[in-house]
């Protein structure tokens, strides 16, 4: 990031309340609002969120890549009420910068790159196929079935459990822990949700400590065993496992849900994909671009800096709105069109810079395996009902996606 000199062509501040992240109308389709904001300025003040938001692709990319901006963890307060939640995040590589981040990322990437995605591929494809086969059977017997409970919410958490080697009963509890902990990432979570998040974090920490003790004595082919072999610190192991569970699970659930919904709303694109499995890889990227599962990432300025001419004083925050970046016409031709063959597709859905998603190859495999199973088991799938949406903005997803056949 360059010196904090405003660029003359960019307005310094646009003081507005650009959108209400809790408004169901906005959540149903935030993209026209993003387009209006983007055409007015690349960065807007957002008094409701208490920080400016970047909305152009270039400005979001600058937020994610800027070395004057960092993920600076601030403990949830009062800290005495959140010991486990804070422990998980303080020790997560996603929440650190500089030497501790780079050391931990090298260690985790080294363990991850010991062939875990290749090891898991046949298992992931087999599981996706079984889940979609059950879904198809339910569609054929009952007339419709929910993709979210049947497939989207099940596959990613099972994959993380397999990656980490988590046995029962913790395995069955993982999804609930993750869902409960991530409610803290939404703007102003309610008191009771905060208390539940701490309880879930404490149970997760206990389960992981137990798993680590077991794997120290009985190493397996899993990632926890590889991390222990690399002599990871005990708290960092727990923080890493929590990060993999939450980052690796929640986003993938919503890519599958949002992505299949996008395809069903664009039947010609679904037919293209059914006819040509060679499009799977491009389709996965396009589904992540078209309806981003993670809408907002924050950074804190380490020194006085600027993004697209907008001053960000040291110690203050700025957010990148990935859904807005993903529809920027400066970068994507016809950005509101879904094009399963889109190439190139430089979306920021997996982030950019030093925090770029470590699990992208595994996530791509999970979404592609699901699309492949749907193509084979339910080629004539259609939407059975208008899907209800989760009320969250940052983690954008559906509650239910009921499928039927034509
Ligand atoms: C389609 C699903 C996924 C999406 C859209 C996604 C997106 C992202 C994004 C945007 C970031 C960067 C956050 C930032 O810059 O502040 C990130 C980081 C990360 N993701 Fe993913 N992710 C997905 C799946 C996964 C999976 C399956 C795993 C692991 C099993 C994973 C592990 C990670 C990790 C460890 C980081 C932190 C990297 C670092 O801080 O250096 N993600 N992800």
pLDDT digits (tens, 9 = 90+) for 51-95: 999 999 999 999 999 999 999 899 999 999 999 999 999 999 999
pLDDT for residue 9: 43
Q: Quick check: CB of 253 below 6 Å from ligand 1? A: no
Q: Which atom of ligand 1 is nearest to the CA of 362?
A: 27
Q: What is the tens place of the pLDDT at every residue in 248-287?
A: 888 999 999 999 999 999 999 999 999 999 999 999 999 9
pLDDT for residue 17: 59
pLDDT for residue 170: 87
pLDDT for residue 168: 85
Average pLDDT value for residue range 18-34: 94
| Mean model confidence pLDDT for the chain | 93
Between helix 170-182 and helix 155-164 the angle, nearest 10°, is 120
pLDDT for residue 380: 98
Q: Residue 400 pLDDT more than 70?
A: yes
- How would you list the strands of the sheet with 145-146, edge to edge? 145-146, 402-405, 381-383
The phi-psi region of residue 98 (left if phi > 0; otherwise alpha if psi is between -120 and 50; otherwise beta) is: left
Mutate to test the pocket of ligand 1, among 65, 254, 357 (most ligand atoms within 8 A of CB): 357
Q: Kindly tell me the burial class for residue 383, based on how many C-beta atoms sit within 10 Å of its own C-beta (0-12, 13-18, 19 or more).
A: middle
249 CA to middle of ligand 1, Å? 9
pLDDT for residue 153: 94
Q: Quick check: CB of 255 below 6 Å from ligand 1? A: yes
Q: What percent of the chain lies above the pLDDT cut of 70?
A: 96
Average pLDDT value for residue range 197-201: 96
Residues 6+ apart with CB under 8 A from 358: 105, 108, 109, 112
Omega prior to 78 cis, within 30 of 0: yes
Contact present, 367 and 350 (Cβ < 8 Å): no
365 CA to middle of ligand 1, Å? 14
Q: Kindly tell me the burial class for residue 341, based on how many C-beta atoms sit within 10 Å of its own C-beta (0-12, 13-18, 19 or more).
A: middle
Q: What is the tens place of the pLDDT at every residue in 99-148?
A: 999 999 999 999 888 899 999 999 999 999 999 999 999 999 999 999 99
pLDDT for residue 349: 98
271 CA to middle of ligand 1, Å? 30
Q: Are strands 317-321 and 51-54 parallel, antiparallel or unpaired?
A: parallel
Q: Quick check: CB of 326 below 6 Å from ligand 1? A: no
Q: Quick check: CB of 252 below 6 Å from ligand 1? A: yes
Q: Quick check: CB of 237 below 6 Å from ligand 1? A: no
Q: What is the tens place of the pLDDT at every residue in 31-46?
A: 999 999 999 999 999 9
Q: Quick check: CB of 30 below 6 Å from ligand 1? A: no
251 CA to middle of ligand 1, Å? 8
Residues 6+ apart with CB under 8 A from 336: 31, 327
Q: Quick check: CB of 257 below 6 Å from ligand 1? A: no
384 CA to middle of ligand 1, Å? 32
Number of other residues whose CB lies within 10 A of the CB of residue 259: 23
By C-alpha distance, which of 178, 148, 200 is closest to 244?
178
pLDDT for residue 190: 87
349 CA to middle of ligand 1, Å? 9
Label each residue of the chain as H, E or C: CCCCCCCCCCCCCCECCCCCCCCHHHHHCCHHHHHHHHHHCCEEEECCCCEEEECCHHHHHHHHHCCCEECCCCCCCCHHHCHHHHHHHHCCHHHCCHHHHHHHHHHHHHHHCCCHHHHHHHHHHHHHHHHHHHHHHHHHHHCCEEHHHHHHCCHHHHHHHHHHCCCCCHHHHHHHHHHHHHHHHCCCCCHHHHHHHHHHHHHHHHHHHHHHHHHHHCCCCCHHHHHHHCCCCHHHHHHHHHHHHHHHHHHHHHHHHHHHHHHHHCHHHHHHHHHCHHHHHHHHHHHHHHCCCECEEEEEECCCEEECCEEECCCCEEEEEHHHHCCCCCCCCCCCCCCCCCCCCCCCCCCCHHHCCCCHHHHHHHHHHHHHHHHHHCCCEEECCCCCECCCCCECCECCCEEEEC
Q: What is the tens place of the pLDDT at every residue in 144-185?
A: 999 999 999 999 999 999 999 998 888 899 999 998 998 888
Q: What is the tens place of the pLDDT at every residue in 225-245?
A: 999 999 999 999 999 999 999
Q: Residue 14 pLDDT more than 60?
A: no
- Domains observed in the chain: 74-296+337-405 (1.10.630.10)
Q: Quick check: CB of 284 below 6 Å from ligand 1? A: no
246 CA to middle of ligand 1, Å? 9
pLDDT for residue 16: 62
Between residues 305 and 248, the one the model is more confident about = 305
Q: What is the tens place of the pLDDT at every residue in 336-348?
A: 999 999 999 999 9
């Amino acid at each position: 990031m360059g010196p904090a000199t405003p660029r003359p062509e960019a307005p310094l501040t646009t003081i507005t309340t650009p959108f209400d992240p809790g408004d169901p109308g906005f959540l149903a389709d935030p993209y026209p609002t993003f387009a209006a904001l983007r055409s007015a300025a690349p960065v807007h003040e957002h008094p409701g969120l208490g920080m400016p938001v970047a909305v152009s692709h270039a400005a979001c990319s600058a937020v994610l890549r800027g070395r004057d901006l960092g993920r600076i963890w601030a403990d949830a307060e009062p800290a005495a009420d959140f010991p486990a939640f804070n422990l998980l995040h303080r020790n997560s590589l996603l929440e650190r910068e500089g030497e501790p981040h780079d050391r931990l990322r090298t260690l985790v990437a080294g363990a991850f790159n010991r062939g875990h995605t290749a090891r898991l591929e046949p298992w992931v494809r087999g599981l996706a196929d079984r889940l979609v086969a059950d879904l198809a059977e339910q569609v054929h017997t009952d007339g419709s079935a929910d993709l979210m409970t049947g497939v989207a919410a099940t596959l990613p958490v099972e994959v993380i459990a397999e990656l980490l080697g988590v046995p029962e009963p913790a395995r069955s509890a993982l999804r609930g822990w993750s869902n409960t902990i991530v409610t803290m990432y939404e703007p102003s979570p309610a008191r009771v949700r905060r208390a539940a998040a701490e309880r879930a974090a404490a149970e997760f920490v206990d389960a992981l400590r137990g798993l680590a003790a077991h794997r120290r004595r009985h190493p397996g082919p899993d990632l926890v065993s590889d991390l222990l072999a690399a002599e990871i610190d005990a708290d960092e192991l727990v923080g890493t496992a929590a990060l993999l569970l939450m980052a690796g699970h929640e986003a993938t659930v919503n890519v599958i849900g949002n992505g299949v919904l996008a395809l069903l709303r664009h039947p010609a694109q679904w037919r293209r994909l059914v006819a040509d499995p060679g499009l799977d890889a491009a389709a996965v990227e396009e589904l992540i671009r078209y309806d981003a599962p993670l809408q907002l990432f924050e950074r804190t300025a380490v020194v006085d800096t600027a993004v697209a001419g907008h001053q960000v004083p040291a110690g203050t925050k700025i957010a990148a709105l990935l859904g807005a970046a993903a529809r920027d016409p400066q970068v994507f031709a016809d950005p509101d069109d879904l094009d399963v063959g889109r190439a190139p597709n430089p979306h920021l859905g997996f982030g950019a810079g030093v925090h770029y998603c470590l699990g992208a190859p595994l996530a791509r495999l999970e979404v592609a395996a699901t699309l492949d199973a749907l193509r084979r088991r339910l080629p004539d799938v259609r939407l059975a009902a208008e899907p209800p949406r989760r009320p969250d903005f940052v983690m954008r997803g559906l509650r239910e996606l009921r499928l039927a056949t034509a």
